[in-house]
Structure 1
Amino acid sequence: MNDVDMAPIWQANWSENKPEGIAPIWLDWLLEAGSLTARLQRTGRAFSLNLVRQQDIELPAFLQQRWHTGRGLLREVVLLLDQQPCIYAQSFLPDHTVSALQPLATLGAVPLGHYIFTQPELSRSAIEIADFAEGLQLPGLGVLPQLWGRRSYFTLSQHELLVQELYLPALTEFIRI
């Protein structure tokens, strides 16, 4: 289907509804309206980013339909606190967004949030949440226990991208549960 093996987390049961039975602290983190990178940095722990992959791909079918293009950029990163993987992020950018917003194609180990949350014409869709059953396998992280994730579409100067973030088990060490 695609040029690259990617975790098909877009196939989850995403919903704008608040999940029942979720701890309030998790809900607070999942519904964070600002930069998740900035929130992680505010924990006072050593923040770093591991660029897992960034490459041109054939977009998943639902994004091809939404964006009227077949190609785009896949960016996968892991955000770490004190060298512990806390967030796995997968971003999709259609080719026309990459062309219009060239800095997005050359971020390397710079967090996406450092760029998009400084843009004056930034808008964000509703945050959707999903529960991932035990057994999901992510690049560089192996098979994982049950996880929560969120996704939303960002629009910068009329150009859209999708960001999906999964909250990894080590995050519990750095937030109050």
Structure 2
Amino acid sequence: MLTVILYHVIFVIVVYTDTGPPYNAFPQKLNFYYFSLYVIPSTTCFFIVLLSTIFLVVKVRRNQRWRKGTSTQTAKTNDKEDKLVRTIIAISTIFIICSFPTVSIFITQIIHKQFRYRDPYLGTLLLLMFNIGGVFQAISSSVNIFFYYRMSSRFKKVFASLFACRRSGIQGTKPSD
């Protein structure tokens, strides 16, 4: 997380110190900064999550089959591993689906050079697609807590204890007359 934040901070500082106002005077530099600030981190994270999810699921499934064949594993352990795999797949799938519109825009911009904001015809379409992508990414960030609550008993306990303390603290205080 710190690496991503540092990466973004450095590029924002470089953009504002290097180009200066008017910002549209250097379109080639701005294209490079745009690519470096948005395209590289977004598509890198997208493909890291995609590939690591596939790798993790394949490894966990392979280990489950191996353990079933070599030892007497309890049904409880199998259920825990299945729940873990389902949670990872659910959260990663939501991230992948919700990030796909934005990543596809970036890839389209690399392939189709006219797909830019300055284009009089495709610029409006690009803005619309980025807004839709932003909504999808907000949805992705918003629904994770529900999946963690549904799938993780430990998360559920901590969540309940945290808000139970807050509720009891609120209920325990009475307004003064």
Q: Which TM-score tier does this pair reach, normalised by the shorter chain?
A: under 0.3
Higher share of residues assigned strand: 1
Taking structure 1 as the reference length, the TM-score comes to 0.23
Larger Rg belongs to = 2
Higher relative contact order (CA 8 A, sep 6+): 1
TM-score, normalised by the number of residues in structure 2: 0.23
More helix by proportion, 1 or 2? 2
